[in-house]
């Protein structure tokens, strides 16, 4: 019996996951909650005809992991959803968004379909890229193409600690993996370069890259989020106190799924006041973008973002997060409140 079937059979249909699934909260159909998705996945394994409703049920999951966290039976609906997506993709049954993500990644090395030079963000820091190093900064697709200033700022801080980058970095594979496609070619390309550099640790500023590099690569890698790396080196950074009050959003794939809660908070409280949101740490609500939802169901992603924005305390200057995908979608739903990365905050505090 497969692990997924064991998970499906563990489900006693108690509905706990349904009550915490952010997507069910917005859409309200049984098939768009974790319990319903488990039943749909079971149906698919028994030969249920795959129509648009089945694809929508499985593909509106953000893979936030809240259902797994709360399930009293130890079932893992998130994995079941991801694996069922994969089974269907192998049969050619997928949404246009899944097809586009995959096509882009194969053609350009990133799911955005960007053909420009990925590492152009390095600018005048290109001279600081080394052939051999213990640490590599993995900038990610969003870092490289949507937040190039942030990627450069991050590298400019990290290079002082002997960190380099991959000269020919490609997507970590997360968008393909979460939406059912095979990311192994991308993974191999990154792995080969990591080995050539001789690095023992990969540092990333993205929750999706972090989780994928750490848990899903064919070889075990030592992976740190940039907040972890810098929290260990706070004493070596010259930072002043800022007269600001900020809230912090825990990205699902960094926090609940991988247990990194404290270090981003350590960086924030080193430079300003932190006013916590409602629903934090393991109970953090999803920003709404993950699992291909921002790409495939942008209106649903917007509603999820607005729901998360309801948890922001009044009177904060910024909402801070440590993942470019969360940042992008949270900004869509947070009205006038500016969403920034913790590295932006640190830059403001650099003496
Ligand atoms: S919480 Fe677990 S046991 Fe309960 S319905 Fe969801 S998957 Fe099934
Ligand atoms: S991973 Fe999140 S969005 Fe997906 S079924 Fe579970 S709770 Fe719902």
Sign, CA dihedral 271-276-280-285, equals negative
Residue 102 lies in a domain: no
Q: Please tell me whether residues 55 and 125 are part of one structural domain.
A: no
Give me the residue label for tokens 């169901």.
297
Range of the domain at 307: 236-349
**Ligand 1 pocket member 171 (CB < 6 A):** no
Which residues are 247's β-sheet partners? 319
331 with 345, same domain: the answer is: yes
Residue 265 and residue 187 share a domain: no
User: Is 80 exceeded by the pLDDT of residue 243?
Assistant: yes
CA 68 to ligand 2 center in whole angstroms: 8
Residues 14 and 77 in one domain: yes
- Residue 264 to residues 49, 115, 204, 343, Cα–Cα distance (Å): 45, 32, 13, 10
Of 231, 260, 280, which residue is a domain's last?
231
Let me know whether 220 and 308 are in one domain: no
> For residues 295 and 152, what is the distance between their CA atoms, to the nearest angstrom?
26
Q: Using 50, 70 and 90 to split pLDDT, how confident is the model at 246? A: very high
- CATH classification at residue 47: 1.10.1060.10
CA dihedral 91, 95, 100, 101 (to 10 degrees): -80
SS3 content of the chain, % helix, strand, coil (to 5): 55, 10, 35
> Could you tell me if 153 and 210 lie in one domain?
yes
Please name the residue that has the structure tokens 């249909």: 13
d(CA 158, CA 255): 22
The model's confidence at residue 108, banded by pLDDT at 50, 70 and 90, is: very high
Task: Point out the ligand 2 atom lying closest to the alpha carbon of residue 17.
Answer: 7
Domain membership flag for residue 111: no
Give exposure, 233-272, as e/b (b: 16+ Cβ within 10 Å).
eeeebebeeeebebbbbbbbbbbbbbebbebbbebbebbb
122 lines ligand 2 (CB under 6 A): no
Closest approach atom of ligand 1 to CA 74: 2
Which residue's CA lies nearest to atom 8 of ligand 1? 11
What's the CA-to-centroid distance between 296 and ligand 2, angstroms?
16
Model confidence pLDDT, tens digit, residues 45-59: 999 999 999 999 999
Closest ligand to C-alpha of residue 7 is 1
Query: Does 208 share its domain with 242?
Result: no
Q: Is residue 298 part of a domain?
A: yes
**Does one domain contain both 241 and 164?**
no
Residue at a domain's end among 231, 249, 279:
231
Tell me the pLDDT tens digit for each residue of 185-208.
999 999 999 999 999 999 999 999
Asked if 82 and 180 count as a contact pair (C-beta separation under 8 A), the reply is: yes
Given a cut of 90, whether residue 1 has pLDDT beyond it is no
From ligand 1's centre to the CA of 61, what distance in Å?
15
What pLDDT digit, counting tens, does each position of 263-319 carry?
999 999 999 999 999 999 999 999 999 999 999 999 999 999 999 999 999 999 999
Same domain, 255 and 330: yes
Residues 207 and 245 in one domain: no
Domain count across the chain = 3
**What pTM was computed for the model?**
0.96
Say whether both 224 and 241 belong to one domain. no
Residue 275, domain CATH: 3.40.50
Residue 139 is assigned to a structural domain of this protein:
yes
- Of residues 55, 60, 14, 16, the one with CA closest to residue 286: 60
Q: Whose CA is nearest to atom 7 of ligand 2?
A: 21
Domain boundary among 56, 78, 94: 94
Helix (H) / strand (E) element for 222: namely: strand 222-225
112 belongs to a structural domain: no
- 202 and 148 in a single domain? The answer is yes
Q: What percent of the chain has pLDDT over 90?
A: 98
Residue 3: predicted pLDDT? 87
Ligand 2 pocket mutation, candidates 63, 292, 304, criterion most atoms within 8 A of CB: 63
Residue nearest atom 5 in ligand 2 by C-alpha distance? 34
């Amino acid at each position: 019996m497969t692990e997924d079937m064991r998970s499906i059979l563990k489900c006693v249909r108690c509905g706990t996951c349904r009550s915490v699934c952010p997507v069910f909260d917005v859409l309200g159909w049984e098939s768009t909650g974790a319990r319903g998705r488990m039943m749909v996945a079971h149906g698919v394994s028994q030969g249920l005809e795959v129509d648009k409703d089945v694809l929508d049920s499985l593909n509106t999951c953000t893979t936030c992991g809240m259902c797994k966290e709360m399930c009293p039976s130890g079932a893992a609906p998130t994995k079941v959803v991801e694996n069922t997506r994969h089974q269907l993709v192998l049969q050619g049954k997928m949404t246009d968004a899944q097809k586009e993500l995959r096509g882009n990644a194969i053609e350009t090395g990133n799911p955005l379909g960007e053909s420009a030079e990925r590492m152009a963000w390095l600018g005048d820091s290109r001279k600081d890229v080394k052939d051999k190093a213990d640490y590599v900064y993995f900038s990610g697709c969003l870092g490289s193409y949507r937040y190039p200033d942030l990627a450069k700022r991050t590298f400019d801080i990290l290079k002082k600690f002997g960190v380099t980058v991959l000269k020919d970095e490609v997507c970590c594979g997360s968008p393909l993996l979460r939406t059912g496609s095979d990311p192994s070619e991308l993974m191999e390309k990154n792995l080969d370069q990591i080995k050539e550099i001789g690095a023992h640790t990969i540092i990333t500023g993205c929750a999706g890259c972090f989780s994928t590099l750490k848990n899903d690569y064919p070889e075990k890698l030592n992976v740190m989020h940039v907040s972890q790396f810098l929290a260990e080196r706070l004493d070596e950074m010259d930072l002043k106190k800022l007269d600001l009050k900020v809230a912090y959003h825990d990205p699902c794939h960094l926090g609940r799924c991988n247990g990194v809660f404290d270090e981003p908070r350590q960086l924030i409280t080193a430079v300003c006041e932190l006013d916590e949101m409602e629903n934090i740490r393991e109970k953090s609500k999803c920003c709404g973008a993950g699992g291909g939802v921002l790409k495939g169901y942008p209106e649903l992603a917007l509603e999820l973002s607005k729901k998360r924005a309801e948890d922001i305390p009044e009177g904060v200057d910024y909402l801070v997060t440590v993942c470019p995908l969360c940042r992008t979608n949270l900004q869509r739903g947070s009205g006038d409140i500016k969403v920034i990365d913790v590295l932006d905050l640190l830059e403001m505090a650099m003496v």
